[in-house]
């Protein structure tokens, strides 16, 4: 007679994602069209990166190079970084300040809104050569993207039809952005990571609460993980494309218990000699000490203690992407708080105590799925009816991402969406 | 010609006032030995030997040239004292998970740029290759070391070590001191 605990009453569900979504160039090309140039708002910058008129930053939306500028009148603009003439990069530097944007090749000159100012030798030289007529300068500017900002975060879109930014984000994401970026931001630094895997593995990773305590062992090892004093919460927006993971701690215990844990770890050999990396000051009105807000398609808004950052995902090819962490504080931080943010920066980024494993984990997937591309992953911790969870052992957020991806890409039967029972999914 | 005995007996710290040829040779030798030990301990995976090359309050910072040039303070790895460096090593050994890799440093251009009281300001270049278990050596990082070196009981130690990396794209992850 079996003494096994019976499975939960809801039907078994599983999601199987074909690995070719990570390895085939076709998916990347279609993503450019349907996602990055589609009805999305893509993260491009913090306003704090372009504070003064004339400031510019060059970056990417998907594979497309773009420029983010602050015009003379203070407005923010985003345009393609491609000369309207013969396609050269207009801004080669990552950031700078200029009164106009000039392509070095033939000195075609654009204003900070991307409009064409002038073209050398438009009328030829001594009556010979020159531009064909009629030449309407307004038709030859840099391709503009729409811009929307929220609390100092700059988004851009190729789409005329995408809903307004706050509607696109949904109320939960808007609230978190307003919380994390509640005052004027001050840049603290950039961390850039080159990861040899498909960008969608990063989209999965930031929506994966299951792996946190199993891959990132720093907190467990040093006796700093306090499951009993933290409550986890996960919420998905209506579309399932955005995901908020957060944990709350009990503030009155927090400082004492961190200091205490550092001294009295489970294994005294593994006590931190200097616990300042995990000592944070309470700065928010709530008890939330961890926020991982994934905003489709290319942004994560992150808080860990006092370490605040955005993560920008930039696809390079089907098997490579760049992750840019932008660390920030607030203009009115006192020196001690700024120092806390910098010290706690040791927890995040490409060498972060609780984040460095991610780059490698994503690459391990890419390294193994490069062949046998018709095989699929298996994710069985899925309940498609739940948008809100207070437990970590779930793959709902990843499943939601793929459901939305499938819909937006127009790939009807590519993925086995939840609803098929495990027996039918079989042993493929 | 300097007296050989007095050169051997000359004891640090050497101040600005004494920058004779013999002293400068000795300084060059000492700082090179410290730097060579530093990279050797990393490359040969003798990380537990690394902290002794730092003073107790010695800071260790790995920061991108991009951030330094832009006046931004956030390092990739920032140890404010020797204990934090020890924590990094213990974490690497016992907590962090990463794929196998071996570093090999090539160090050059070691130069004492200034002597400020007890401190020697030393700059050098490095190139680090990383070999993963596919056996291919790739340039993982290149940049410069900008260090403040002092002498404790006659031994040179880092009071401040800054690794300023040009290769501001970290390849996959950084777990090991650079």
Q: From chain B, pick out residues whose CB is under 8 angstroms from the CB of A222.
A: 91, 95
Q: From chain B, pick out residues whose CB is under 8 angstroms from the CB of A271.
A: none
pLDDT for the residue numbered A270: 77
pLDDT for the residue numbered B15: 52
Task: Tell me what the mean pLDDT of segment A105-132 comes to.
Answer: 95
pLDDT of A267 above 70: no
Q: From chain B, pick out residues whose CB is under 8 angstroms from the CB of A272.
A: 87
The residue among A258, A251, A256 whose CA lies nearest residue A226 is A258
pLDDT for the residue numbered A412: 73
**Interface contact B172-A360, CB threshold 8 A:** yes
pLDDT for the residue numbered A224: 75
pLDDT for the residue numbered A92: 95
pLDDT for the residue numbered A110: 98
Phi, psi angle pair for B65, to nearest 5°? -60, -35
**Interface contact B174-A196, CB threshold 8 A:** no
Task: Tell me what the mean pLDDT of segment A120-129 comes to.
Answer: 94
Q: Considering CB atoms only, which of A192, A221, A346 is closest to B168?
A: A192
Distance, first Cα to last Cα, chain B: 40
Confidence of residue A12 (pLDDT cuts 50, 70, 90): low
pLDDT for the residue numbered A414: 75
Q: Flag whether residue A375 sits within 8 Å of chain B, measured between CB atoms.
A: no
Integer CA distances (angstroms), A421 to A4, A10, A16, A319, in order: 21, 11, 12, 31
Least reliable range by pLDDT among A4-8, A217-221, A361-365, B62-66: A4-8
Q: Where are the alpha helices (DSSP H) in A62-193?
A: 165-180
Q: Flag whether residue A247 sits within 8 Å of chain B, measured between CB atoms.
A: no
Quick one: tokens of B76? 């990739």
Please give the model's pTM, rounded to 2 decimal places: 0.91
Strand order in the sheet with A230-236: A388-389, A230-236, A243-249, A288-295, A299-304, A307-317, A320-330, A185-195, B169-171
Phi, psi angle pair for B165, to nearest 5°? -95, 130
Least reliable range by pLDDT among A45-49, A124-128, A256-260, B41-45: A256-260
Q: Considering CB atoms only, which of A190, A195, A360 is closest to B99?
A: A360
**Interface contact A273-B86, CB threshold 8 A:** yes
pLDDT for the residue numbered A221: 82
Task: Tell me what the mean pLDDT of segment B60-69 comes to.
Answer: 97
A&B contacts, CB < 8 Å: 119
pLDDT of B18 above 90: no
pLDDT for the residue numbered A4: 44
Least reliable range by pLDDT among A2-16, A163-177, B157-171: A2-16
Q: Flag whether residue A93 sits within 8 Å of chain B, measured between CB atoms.
A: no
Integer CA distances (angstroms), A111 to A19, A76, A138, in order: 44, 13, 12
Percent pLDDT > 90 in chain A is 76
pLDDT for the residue numbered B4: 47
Integer CA distances (angstroms), A131 to A90, A102, A145, B59, in order: 20, 18, 27, 61
Contact at 8 Å (CB) between B135 and B129?
A: no
CA dist A46 and A44 (Å) reads 7
pLDDT for the residue numbered A223: 75
Q: Give the residue from chain B lying closest to A275, CA to CA.
A: B84
Phi, psi angle pair for A252, to nearest 5°? -70, -20
pLDDT of B169 above 90: no
Q: From chain A, pick out residues whose CB is under 8 angstroms from the CB of B134.
A: none
- Round the average pLDDT of chain A to a whole number and report it: 89
Least reliable range by pLDDT among B18-32, B57-71, B146-160: B18-32
Q: Considering CB atoms only, which of B72, B75, B84 is closest to A187?
A: B72
pLDDT digits (tens, 9 = 90+) for A268-295: 667 899 999 999 999 999 999 999 999 9
Q: Give the residue from chain A lying closest to B97, CA to CA.
A: A357
pLDDT for the residue numbered A225: 65
Q: From chain A, pick out residues whose CB is under 8 angstroms from the CB of B76.
A: 191, 349-351
Q: Is B159 helix (H, G, I), strand (E, B) or coil?
A: strand
Task: Tell me what the mean pLDDT of segment A345-356 comes to.
Answer: 95
pLDDT of B14 above 60: no
CA quadruple B37, B42, B47, B52: dihedral sign: positive
Give yes or no for a cis peptide into B13 (omega within 30° of 0): yes
**Interface contact B95-A360, CB threshold 8 A:** no
Contact at 8 Å (CB) between A207 and A401?
A: yes
pLDDT for the residue numbered A383: 82
Q: From chain B, pick out residues whose CB is under 8 angstroms from the CB of A364.
A: 99
**Interface contact A221-B98, CB threshold 8 A:** no
Least reliable range by pLDDT among A222-231, A377-386, B30-39, B111-120: A222-231
Task: List B10's β-bridge partners, or say none.
Answer: none
Quick one: tokens of B24? 């400068």
Q: Considering CB atoms only, which of A192, A273, A364 is closest to B169?
A: A192
Phi, psi angle pair for A379, to nearest 5°? -125, 110
Q: From chain B, pick out residues whose CB is under 8 angstroms from the CB of A346.
A: 77-78, 84
CA dist A124 and A130 (Å) reads 4
pLDDT digits (tens, 9 = 90+) for A41-59: 999 999 999 999 999 999 9
Percent pLDDT > 70 in chain A is 88
Confidence of residue A230 (pLDDT cuts 50, 70, 90): confident
Task: Tell me what the mean pLDDT of segment A404-426 comes to.
Answer: 69
CA dist A385 and B62 (Å) reads 46
**What residues of chain B, 75 to 104, have a C-beta less than 8 Å from chain A?**
75-78, 80-81, 83-84, 86-87, 90-91, 94-99
Contact at 8 Å (CB) between A369 and A19?
A: yes
């Amino acid at each position: 007679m079996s003494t096994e605990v019976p499975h939960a009453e809801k039907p078994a569900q599983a999601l199987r994602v074909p690995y070719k979504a990570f390895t085939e160039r076709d998916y990347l090309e279609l993503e450019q069209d349907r996602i990055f140039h589609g009805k999305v708002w893509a993260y491009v910058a913090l306003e704090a990166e372009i504070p003064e008129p004339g400031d510019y930053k060059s970056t990417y939306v998907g594979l497309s190079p773009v420029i983010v500028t602050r015009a003379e009148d203070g407005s923010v603009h985003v345009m393609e970084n491609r000369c309207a003439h013969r396609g050269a990069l207009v801004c080669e530097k990552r950031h700078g300040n200029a009164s106009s944007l000039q392509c070095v090749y033939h000195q075609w000159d654009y204003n900070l809104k991307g409009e064409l100012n002038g073209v050398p030798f438009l009328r030829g030289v001594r009556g010979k050569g020159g531009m064909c007529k009629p030449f309407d300068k307004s038709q030859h500017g840099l391709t503009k993207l729409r811009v929307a900002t929220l609390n100092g975060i700059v988004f851009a879109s190729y789409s005329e039809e995408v809903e307004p930014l706050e509607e696109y984000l949904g109320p939960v994401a808007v609230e978190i952005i307003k919380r994390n970026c509640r005052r004027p931001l001050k840049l603290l630094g950039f961390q850039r990571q080159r990861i040899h895997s498909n960008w969608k593995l990063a989209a999965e990773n930031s929506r994966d609460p299951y792996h946190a305590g199993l891959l990132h062992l720093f907190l467990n090892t040093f006796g700093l993980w306090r499951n009993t004093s933290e409550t986890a919460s996960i919420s998905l927006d209506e579309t399932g494309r955005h995901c908020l993971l957060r944990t709350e701690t009990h503030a009155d215990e927090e400082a004492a218990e961190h200091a205490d844990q550092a001294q009295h770890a489970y294994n005294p050999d593994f006590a931190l000699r200097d616990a300042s990396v995990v000592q944070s000051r309470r700065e928010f009105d709530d008890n939330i000490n961890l926020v991982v807000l994934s905003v489709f398609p290319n942004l994560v808004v992150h808080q860990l203690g006092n370490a605040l950052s955005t993560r920008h995902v930039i696809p390079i090819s089907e098997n490579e992407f760049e992750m840019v962490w932008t660390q920030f504080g607030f203009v009115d931080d006192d020196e001690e708080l700024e120092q806390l943010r910098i010290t706690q920066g040791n927890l995040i980024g490409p060498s972060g105590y609780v984040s460095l494993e991610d780059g490698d984990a994503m690459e391990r997937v890419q390294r193994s799925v490069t062949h046998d591309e018709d095989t699929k992953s298996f994710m069985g911790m899925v309940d498609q009816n739940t948008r809100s969870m207070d437990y970590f052992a779930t793959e709902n957020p990843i499943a939601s991402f793929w459901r939305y991806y499938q819909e937006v890409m127009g790939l009807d039967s590519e993925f086995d969406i939840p609803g098929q029972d495990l027996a039918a999914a079989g042993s493929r | 010609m300097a007296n050989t005995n007095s050169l051997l007996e000359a004891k640090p710290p050497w101040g600005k006032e004494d920058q004779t040829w013999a002293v400068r040779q000795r300084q060059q030798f000492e700082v090179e030995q410290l730097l060579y030990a530093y990279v050797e301990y990393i490359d040969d995976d003798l990380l537990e030997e690394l902290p002794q090359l730092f003073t107790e309050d010695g800071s260790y910072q790995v920061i991108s040239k991009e951030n330094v040039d832009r006046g931004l303070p956030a390092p990739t790895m920032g140890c404010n004292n020797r204990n934090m460096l020890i924590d990094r090593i213990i974490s690497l050994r016992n907590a962090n998970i990463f794929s196998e890799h071996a570093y090999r440093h090539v160090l050059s251009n070691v130069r004492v740029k200034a002597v400020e009281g007890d401190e020697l300001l030393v700059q050098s270049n490095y190139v680090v290759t990383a070999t993963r278990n596919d056996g291919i050596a790739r340039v993982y990082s290149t940049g410069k070391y900008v260090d403040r070196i002092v002498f404790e009981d006659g031994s040179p130690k880092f009071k401040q070590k800054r690794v300023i990396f040009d290769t501001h794209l970290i390849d996959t992850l950084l777990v090991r001191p650079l």
